[in-house]
Amino acid sequence: MQERSKRIFLIIGFIGSVIVIGLAMYVVFFSATPSPTTPGAEVPSGEQPSGTLPSSQAGTLGAGGVTVPTGTGALPTAAPIASGGITQVTALTTGPVSNPTLSADGKSMNFYNKEDGFFYTIDKDGNIVKLSTQSFPNVQSAEWNRNAEKAVLTFPDNSKIVYNFETQTQVTLPKHWEDVNFSPTSDSLIAKSMALDPNNRWLVTSNDNGSNVTAIQALGDNADKVQVSWSPNDQVVGFADTSSVVGNNSTSGFDTKVIYPIGKNQENFKGLVVEGFGFAPSWSPSGKTILYSVYSDYSQGKPLLWLADGTSSSMGDHRHSLSINTWVDKCTWSSDTVVYCAVPQNLPDNAGLQRSLYDNLPDTLYKLDLTNNRTSVVAIPPTDTTMSNLSVSKDGSSLYYTDTLSGQLKLIKLK
């Protein structure tokens, strides 16, 4: 009996000690837990809600000159008018367009819509209006005259017409004419007449209805080396890249070749010496100067813009590099002394040799002031944008371009 009583007391003592230890553990680990914060209740100053990051504080200059971000971290606001930074862009069309051109009023834009085959204009109030009740399915290219009331339309079968949007009339041109363009006065045409026999291939001019054809220059097997380019001063109608002389200029150290201007009346103008390959020209509005792009080893194979005199007496004089790496067809003249260019960002070496590989690089808009040879960034679109078909309104307030990716016609306000 005595032994049994001892066992009972031991068991009771063990149970009691377990209870005491349990109570002690509860007091130590659980009784100090704070009550949860009521949703919406104010958080005391200096404390942060559980599970959130501290709010950003004023920026400071850290080690190595790295600036710690300040404020909310939001992207810079796009400026409504170009001032050298990120600039607002306005889409003028909801879908892709092709062959845009500035109309005679200097504000409206004409373009072709491949989806329905009609030509349209966007007037100064932003309204889209058909230029003609006639549709032209599958137009491959449209070369406008200076006032944009006529265009040479080329179709997939190489047939061509001149359509007058004011009179709603058309005339048919010979199929074997290629690279057809209007003269600066808009009352004449120039074309490469490509007969089957190379001996009958000529650079020709005619009236804008294809009549009164005049042969200017024999082409033979060199038609692909001739660029049609009628100067505003009516002296030069094209350039021939037929020089076999390619060498090193001892004074400049650059690779050089001679480009021959083709006179309207078969004049023998002085050759235009250029430093590089891939020559492509653009006349100033007066025809006094030529903007052109070439590439060579000295430019790491990138296209480089140059400027030279363009009159018959001073052809090629005063040529100099503008230190801008882009193709001349990505530029547009605003006046005789101001040019705007879309300049590809991070253009790699040797891009001039295989341009098609870099056609979709994003562009930055630059202004070239030819009076003092200064270049400056004008605008950066808010999103990566490849720009083509640039043109500037007559008053210099707006720049129009085609977004290469979407095909939309867009606008940047310059002032």
Count other C-beta atoms under 10 Å from residue 210's C-beta: 18
Question: Do residues 154 and 162 make contact, with C-beta atoms less than 8 angstroms apart?
Answer: no
Kindly report, residue by residue over 47-65, the tens digit of the pLDDT: 333 333 333 333 333 333 3
Query: For residue 408, is it within any domain?
Result: no
- Please determine, for residue 30, whether its predicted confidence score (pLDDT) is greater than 70: no
pLDDT of 5 = 55
* pLDDT tens digits, one per residue of 162-189: 999 999 999 999 999 999 999 998 889 9
Q: Is residue 31 part of a domain?
A: no
Q: Give me the pLDDT at residue 126, please.
A: 83
- In this prediction, residue 197 carries a pLDDT of 95
Kindly state whether residue 76 falls inside one of the protein's structural domains.
no
Whether the Cβ atoms of residue 261 and residue 313 lie closer than 8 Å to each other = no
Q: What is the mean pLDDT of the chain?
A: 85
234 in a domain, yes or no?
A: yes
Six token digits for residue 33:
């837990």
Strand segments (E) across 123-167: 128-130, 141-144, 150-154, 160-164
The answer on pLDDT for 295 being more than 50 is: yes
Q: Give the mean model confidence (pLDDT) for residues 264-290.
A: 93
Residue 295 domain-assigned (yes or no) = yes
- Could you tell me if residue 8 is inside a domain? no
Start-to-end CA span in the chain (Å): 112
Residue 255's pLDDT is what?
A: 79
d(CA 279, CA 296): 11
Query: Model-level pTM?
Result: 0.79
128/122 Cα distance (integer angstroms):
5
Give CA–CA dist 213/236, Å, rounded. Answer: 18
Which of the residue ranges 167-171, 252-256, 349-353, 392-396 would you say has the lowest mean pLDDT? Answer: 252-256
Measured CA to CA, the distance from residue 304 to residue 352 in angstroms comes to 9
Number of domains in the chain: 1
More confident residue, 90 or 9: 90
Confidence class for position 398, pLDDT limits 50, 70, 90: very high
pLDDT in tens, 103-135: 999 999 999 999 999 999 998 788 999 999 999
pLDDT of 28? 45
In a domain, 325, yes or no: yes
Q: Return the structure tokens found at 391.
A: 């043109």
Q: Give the span between the Cα atoms of 197 and 3, in whole angstroms.
A: 133
Closest CA to 125 of 108, 149, 110: 108
Containing structural domain, residue 241: 229-360
Map tokens 């193709």 to a residue: 327
* 195-245 pLDDT per residue, tens: 999 999 999 999 999 999 999 999 999 999 999 999 999 999 999 998 865
Question: Is residue 137 domain-resident?
Answer: no
Closest to 244 (Cα-Cα) out of 224, 261, 263, 225: 225
Q: Is the pLDDT of residue 378 over 60?
A: yes
Is the pLDDT confidence value at 26 over 60? no
